[in-house]
Chains A and B, each alone.
Chain A
Amino acid sequence: MSEGMNRRRFLTVLGATGGGAAALGACGVDPERSQKLIPYLVQPEDQVPGTATWYATTCRECPAGCGLHAKVREGRVIKLEGNPESPINGGRLCARGQAALEGVYNPDRLGDPLARGVQGKLERISWDDALAQLHAKLAAARGRIAFVTGNETGSFGDLVDEWTKAVGATHVTYEPFAFEALREGNRLAFGIDAVPWYDLASARYILSFGADFLDTWLSPVAYQNAFARAHGFTSGRDVTMAKSVFVGPRMFLTGMNADEWVAATPGTEGLLALALAAVIVEERLAPLPADAGRLHELLARHAPAAVAGAVGIDAPAIERLAREFAGAQGGVALAGGMATHYPNGAEIAAAVNILNYVAGAVGKTVRFGPNQGLARGTFRELTDLVTAMEAGKIAVLLVHGANPGHSLTGAFWQAWGKVAYKVSFSSDLDETASAADLVLPDLHPLEQWSDSRPRAGVWALQQPVMQPVAANARPAGDVLLTLAGKSGTFKDYLQTKWRPLAERHAHGKSFEEFWPELLQHGGLYVDVPRQWVRLGPQATELMREAPAPPRFAGEASDLVLIAFPSAALYDGRGANKPWLQELPDPVSKIAWHAWVELHPETAAKWSVTDGDFLLLQSPFGAVRAPVWITPAIRPDVLGVPIGQGHRAYGRYARDRSFNAFDLLPEAPNAYGGRTFAVRVAARTTGEHRFLASSEGDPRGVGAGEDIIKVLPRATADALAPTAHPFAEPAPPAYAAGALAGWAEEQRAGAALGNYAGKQPRWAMAIDLARCTGCSACVTACYAENNLPTVGEELVLRRRQMSWMRIERYWRGGEGRGAGEGGEPLHGVVTPMLCQQCEAAPCEPVCPVFAAYHTPDGLNGQVYNRCVGTRYCANNCPYKVRYFNWYNFAEAGGEWEAWPSPLDWQLNPDVTVREKGVMEKCTFCVQRIRGAQNRARLEDRTVLDGEIVPACAQSCPSEAIVFGDLHDKTSRVAQLAADPRGYHVFESLNTKPGITYLARVVDRGA
């Protein structure tokens, strides 16, 4: 009895349903109507009731700093979309960025300042008292103050610097993933401490050493978009599809989308890079830079034959890769992700730099100059601070935009105890804040002024898009100014910082004229000259000892455990947002929980299955983790995602699964960064739990061949523009008549009212050569269509409401079940959503016409007509209809999805569905109607591209195109005729409105 029948509920049931009448009263799709109408005092001049206003601002969910357009209705921000003008994300946005909304409206958000009272509990106090208290403490602790912030590249960072300088405090920037190895690697190779901009879009060969640039690395949206441009395939025309190779012990999302996965021994990526460089130099595959000669001795030591053993790849394969890479003319090699989180991460980064250098990529696809805004902050700085704290050298510690309490566990907390007075600016009670003595809740980035410089040449502005939800919270900037005794608000400070910038770029306009322009564009974007680099002195000093895998801490076993940032939760900051918790991991498809990845061989050896618990013990800690068996990881490697296991932070994050940081060393490694790989001992505990996954029964490699079609590169290139390899044979003559008749009948049945004149046929094209499975569209759909998050238990019972389902299948290789002959293991993904069939199986079976065909070719779903027989769902071969098993909108209900104020985010243009009705994707019909209304108002027809469904809008790789199929000039009509185009289950003759374009895989010659 999963829903416990406790006494309270028992009684409420009897009470509520006694006589039945009350129960029926409580039911029905009609939400309560607002009885009072409260007018504006003054109508905001930029807002029209019932019409959205858009504000440009900047995303602060990760250091990437994407540009945002915030959609505001009646004074509430209800949707975030990318700012098309931003050179970072060009109008696209990832799942984490869109979930920023749930930060604004988070039910666990702090409203008032808290101070530790006499009983040692945090209690509300007024701002005046709080600031007075802080003033006193600071005055007393002069010189013994430390300020820890997240990666602040903008004016706030400057303010903190100024203030800390003034009061003689130390300012430490702390990001759990600070890319120290990259910076150090660049210093070693080129003597420059910076992170360059990689021009993936124009690369012809993308060789990634661990860099998971589709998921969490540096600037995922930007790089995914670029990757799609380079790696995407356009039938007939494009013969320059870049090949993509991923090197690493685990096949990350990037590995799944690569054409080839090279599972090198963990830590030997650098050796492989040098070996590739050696071949290139050896065989003169590229015009060598003048000073490349200095590398001879280094490369000689790393000939393929020499490293093959250590790397675990045979020499010929290495040589082939080298020839492909150099032969591609304009390849790019990336070092990142796990490769830069080993003890020798910096050397690996440097080695990859050398590969780029000899291949002539540096300056072309690897551009110094427009550097990433990651100039400061290393793990060592923080650990030094911890030592200082331990030594009692710190009296007051201020923390803003960082949560070291989650990412550091052992030594940090001891040191924490030694600090007399701890202040947090967090707007949630995360681990750090809840242990602080004073909490001064900051406003959400969407509610306050600020800016950031995510990349040289990109000054991104951040403006408040709505009045603060937590009315009594204060911008940390203002607080800091007050502390510094400066006049004015942080906005004024910001503007003074921008004045000189404006003078340089305003082209004569006054600042007052220029400022609104800046706000409209979301900031200032200028080109930065590229900076040429030469080999640094240390370049030749790399990897002195004989080629061998690195030594990882802990001798307990030969198993290396790698900890990687979770795609949805990143370092854990997303853990209290239900959208992100319920978003199935792009690779594992697991939601609401962390897991440990095991190769089937290992699993068989230990005879464990999915969900069995392992006790993982490293020299630094131990966790109990449920097993997820996957072929996409090396047998000698275990993988765990970071981000879960919070002991505080909020209702969605607290006490959920385990914290992978517990297993990691807290001492900085050679290059001052943190090591995310350790040796662990693992033993089964006998416990078992089911993992909430959007994937059904465990399947072996294979399956889904009708759903995802893959073409080898050669075949795809050879396709004639008129070819249709996937077309089904036409229905037999005897059936044709009947089918045509039936389809016509369907249409006639739908043509209610006066439909003289031609109707559009809304349709979609999804290019699987571009789709990476990053799942940004899933969150976009949640935000746009008021999809409830149902929680772990209901996901387990397969009641997730996600209209957009990203399916992932393993193909080839060996894994669970039978592999396909010869083909190497690879993962394929596809978005599965309502196909808007022309001959839809769901329609004729609905007894009340709740599911019916609209004249413009949609499968309508009339929520208020639906009685919930669920026959449509049974009859849908795509299984894309979702049923409201409970009343997810019931305030205070057991399954409430939007505890206030989360409900403020709900899209007023979309009905909030009641219990007992079926729901599904309708191509964002509210957007279609909106566009049609606008067009009608302006006496014109809807233009192609004017309607963009939420999923298509967010897609970082522009894989989804929407439009009218009847308009032969529309993009979607052209794509629908593409030779790679196919319909899922075409043999069922459902005539779907969605055309998928087969994925193209380059397996080399």
Chain B
Amino acid sequence: MNEVVDHKPLLTHEVGSLDKPGWRVKAYAGKPLDDKDLEEARSWGERLQVPKYERLLDLLRHTPFTKEQKAELQRWSSLYAVRLEESAGLDVVYDGEQQRTEMYDWAVSHSNGFERRGSVRAFDNKYYSKAAVVGPISLGSPFHNAEFSYLVSVAEAELKIPVTGAYTIADWSFDERNRTPENLLLPAAERTRQRKAARRDFVLEVARNLIRPNLEALITLGARWIQVDEPGASTEADELDLFVDSFNASVEGLNAMFSTHLCFSDYNLFFPAIERMEHCRQYAVGFANYDSRELGTSDEERPGYQVIKKFRDLPYKPALGLGVLDIHSDFIESPELVRDRVLYAVKVFGDPNRIHVTPDCGLRTRSWKVAYEKLRNMTAGVRMARQQLGLPSTE
């Protein structure tokens, strides 16, 4: 995979999540399915040419589902998602987290040392069940192995496995390893020093004792490209060095290609901290959300992409996963718009090998119909860019 990634210009891939089909969500929750759900399963099965999808339809007609049947339905959902991405023409695929609850809960559910504390808001009207770490952190059981093994068995394209990163897991958790509240009568500087030391210890414990063993298990199974998702990385501007240290502690010395996904932030904050993140071979970063929808390849016409120069200048020359699809909007980017965003990035980098093309972030906020159209136009735009750059076609 390293060779594929390092030497394939304008490689296309997804970033992480996809919406879960209604039939999968309802079936798993034990809710009744209706004709609309069955039609959704049928029409996408037909459209994506999912092998033997009629078996899924048979299964969906026989409610209630046993635990084993629910697991089977999750695998069907995985298969559909992989086929959607392959059908859209992506070079590297994944199943959009169809077998996971969500990116935080899934990791915590398979870990030791955490206790649930209740729901808190993540963003907008989205909530998640936040946990506290109350004791030593360790891996309960490798939590992506079953998913990865299944995907290997069905994917025709190359695979990439996203894993939630240590900094984000720690940042989205409470630290109750020491339950003594702060003494507010102590000097603030001393309290800050103690808080920072505890925080560092906490984040690195998650990296070493939870994330790293899970990565090792995936690599043993044959995973070659692992994307470390860190949406929380820029939450605390003064902790970017800690984020970098946690990434390095998670992956250093392991034999796979590691990339990271950063989203929706002031990306200038990451510099110079990530100059030390040399084990990261690719940064998948969202830019379309900040960009104009006008065509063109000048600086003025591509305001959302001005910061990419900083990624270009990183000393270890990673690839940039160039976000070209706004995942917060149903607006379908035209192939021409994708083309121009890609051509602009290639012009800035001067090397198409260092540009990969992706959505800004996981597409779970969009319907499959919108996600599919966006991804198809993304790959069409990349074909146009290849042609314009005189690069060989991948088809």
* A and B bind: no
